[in-house]
Structure 1
């Protein structure tokens, strides 16, 4: 009995010591992490000023709702160039046209890198196209993408195929026979099909369930990637081991998308003839084959998957949301819609639009430009980083510093826009009604990382918008007016709304 008690006492003592040592170890690790985090929060010498930050988490909580608006308000206090602490990640914020131009245009190469954020590393291993670090890999992938969009995404053949997609789009709307419907699904499918023509060489039908599901996941991830959870994950990557939270949903979605992309890449590469590319995938595989002996070349099957996914999402989100916002605002302002109808009828006289008609339709162009300005589809662009030490406006910005360009502040910069909070297409017209280009208009960003699909996007917007308004009059059902407050994410998209497309009498 005594020996048993002695053994139990020994076990209890060993267990108690183990728990004590474990708790001590955990407390020591947490203390070291906190010290490390606090040291990271110290601004480098000569760094731009900024608002005071909370210990450990910094200014992350301030970005939980409308971060672009918060940043613009802070610029009124600290100037066009200021800094935020995103959980120990010292970040420079560029606000207003002047600051963004001096950095992204005058020092284009310096501000062309991407930050090495844990989220990007987890999602794409800093590979692919959009998140690739500045250097040879980015140059190789950017050149291939630009050439592919130029070769497969322009010219008369591409124009005809977009025009055909417009007809599929209008016929799908016609099936609603003037009854209320949510336009998101149809607009997203129509727009994504234009990018699909470049990447895969063909379109997907609007009832292709697998592809539609992938697009829905993409859209959800665009929202999740700008959530507070994403910022917290970048600051504290050990959150990967926390089994709940939006970051886990993000990773789950990404895996599903990449698995699906791998399957359709294999499908559309079948029947490929080397050096006779039919689409972007063929062109990429050609580059892979040519560089098999050069191990420093970045073309790989994994980077192909990342690149295809990024091109689909980049080619879909901006144009889709622009058209959805345009439909909403035309229904909201019937007088603007009437002017659009008059110009379309006058110029086209019942025939389908051509690209040459853009020059003859200044008011249509003005409405599209005002939609891009007012709705700020990508308010913070895609995060950048400095590729080397630099000095801007007397501030020292070290190499590798994360940089956020607040494009929303450019489009609401009162130095360049009169009454920027008012939706007014006429601001893009001169006294004679001619369309005018304005400098402080950067929806596709600027510099080395500007949107490579800008020309194709502009062509899409014009053709989809013009053909839509040529056939239909847009109005809200029963006089109900949806909210114009955006759904927050990496892009600003409208909240779900219903609209009626009434056949016009021509």
Structure 2
């Protein structure tokens, strides 16, 4: 899904993932399940009884459970040690994949045979994740009813059965495991980091935090939030957009490739060339943003306090 070359395999998996996230991960029912997860999250915070603690694991678990509902059809408790361990490995692998060792390995693949280095840790983690996901997929597919999918795994297994006689199909058990792993990482890391940055900025800018709280209190007036409340909170929306702009959770976006030969500013880019977008430079370009290094949610509001979009806002990819 994320690192596959453009072709039949990518198109098949992309279509399935988009359809599943649209069907299982949107609408009022999904919003209600997100609200339920927020209550579990708040209860877990209350257990610390006002004492300082690192919220990373709680935030990661809460965010991951939203993706888990789409992939597996249910959430994992915060004290599930096996899943907690997997989440830690996923986070570690993301850090390792962005390290110097990973770039060296990509440049010199023969390093696979070097018995030391962080790339070996990455391989060990990948094997452990594979075994864990294999077992968990088997567990969640036991009560499956063919052609009546309740989550992503059900839908994927349906595709595997339908294409069983197609030798060119890309649907397989291995690709199911890889896809589930990528969806968990993609659905967890970016949102988790965004929320953690949001917490930090609210702590650093208490006046902005106060304005956020005032708008939420004014709109909700003591009742639980509803899906349609989002459009009634322009300042909250602006704050979240400014967090995404400033923290750059995906600074280089998702790597792309040219589908045909292209000419850019006189340079010939052959078909199949990897294209990396520097989203960091876009979000700090003074051509589009005044004082780009300053945290200023008002840049996403017009003179009437209404939320406005910016063409140079590209938090995840083009």
Give the one of 44, 51, 56 matched to 1:179.
Answer: 51
Q: Corresponding residue for 2:204?
A: 332
SS in 2 for 1:391: strand
Looking at structure 2, the residues matched to 294 and 401 of structure 1 have their Cα atoms a distance apart, in angstroms, of 30
Verify: 1:147 aligned to 2:19, yes or no: yes
Give the one of 270, 277, 282 matched to 2:149.
Answer: 277
Give 1:174 deviation, angstroms. Answer: 1.1
SS in 2 for 1:396: strand
Verify: 1:244 aligned to 2:107, yes or no: no
Looking at structure 2, the residues matched to 252 and 403 of structure 1 have their Cα atoms a distance apart, in angstroms, of 29
SS in 1 for 2:277: strand
Looking at structure 1, the residues matched to 61 and 107 of structure 2 have their Cα atoms a distance apart, in angstroms, of 35
Whether the 8 Å contact between 2:249 and 2:316 is mirrored in structure 1 is no
Give the one of 219, 230, 240 matched to 2:102.
Answer: 230
Which structure features the higher share of helix residues?
2
Give 1:389 deviation, angstroms. Answer: 2.0
Looking at structure 1, the residues matched to 302 and 273 of structure 2 have their Cα atoms a distance apart, in angstroms, of 41
Verify: 1:323 aligned to 2:190, yes or no: no
Give 1:392 deviation, angstroms. Answer: 1.0
Using the size of structure 1 for normalisation, the TM-score is: 0.62
Give 1:302 deviation, angstroms. Answer: 0.4
Verify: 1:261 aligned to 2:100, yes or no: no
Q: Corresponding residue for 1:296?
A: 168
Using the size of structure 2 for normalisation, the TM-score is: 0.98
Give the one of 243, 246, 267 matched to 1:395.
Answer: 267
Q: Corresponding residue for 2:282?
A: 410
Q: Corresponding residue for 1:445?
A: 317
Give 1:383 deviation, angstroms. Answer: 2.3
Q: Corresponding residue for 1:419?
A: 291
Verify: 1:382 aligned to 2:254, yes or no: yes
Give 1:399 deviation, angstroms. Answer: 2.4
Structure 1: tracts of 5 or more residues without a match: 1-128, 447-506
Whether the 8 Å contact between 2:254 and 2:317 is mirrored in structure 1 is no
Q: Corresponding residue for 1:458?
A: none
Q: Corresponding residue for 1:100?
A: none
Give 1:217 deviation, angstroms. Answer: 0.4
Q: Corresponding residue for 2:180?
A: 308
Looking at structure 1, the residues matched to 233 and 261 of structure 2 have their Cα atoms a distance apart, in angstroms, of 46
SS in 2 for 1:313: helix
SS in 2 for 1:405: coil
Listed one character per residue, the Cα deviations across residues 374-400 of structure 1 (whole Å, up to 9, x for unaligned) are: 000010112222233211121111223
Looking at structure 2, the residues matched to 384 and 360 of structure 1 have their Cα atoms a distance apart, in angstroms, of 36
Q: How many residues align?
A: 318
Listed one character per residue, the Cα deviations across residues 263-315 of structure 1 (whole Å, up to 9, x for unaligned) are: 00000000111000010000000000000111111100000000000000000
Q: Corresponding residue for 2:238?
A: 366
Give 1:162 deviation, angstroms. Answer: 0.7
Q: Which has the higher contact order (CA 8 A, sep 6+)?
A: 1
Give the one of 92, 96, 104 matched to 1:220.
Answer: 92
Give the one of 170, 178, 184 matched to 2:42.
Answer: 170
Looking at structure 2, the residues matched to 257 and 308 of structure 1 have their Cα atoms a distance apart, in angstroms, of 11
Q: Corresponding residue for 2:6?
A: 134
Structure 2: tracts of 5 or more residues without a match: none
SS in 2 for 1:277: coil
Aligned alpha-carbon RMSD (Å): 0.9
Q: Corresponding residue for 1:67?
A: none
Q: Corresponding residue for 1:198?
A: 70
Verify: 1:161 aligned to 2:33, yes or no: yes
Give 1:409 deviation, angstroms. Answer: 0.8
Whether the 8 Å contact between 2:202 and 2:209 is mirrored in structure 1 is yes
Whether the 8 Å contact between 2:28 and 2:227 is mirrored in structure 1 is no
Give 1:342 deviation, angstroms. Answer: 0.8
Looking at structure 2, the residues matched to 332 and 310 of structure 1 have their Cα atoms a distance apart, in angstroms, of 33
Q: Which segment is superposed worse, 305-314 or 391-400? A: 391-400
Give 1:135 deviation, angstroms. Answer: 1.1
Q: Which segment is superposed worse, 283-292 or 402-411? A: 402-411
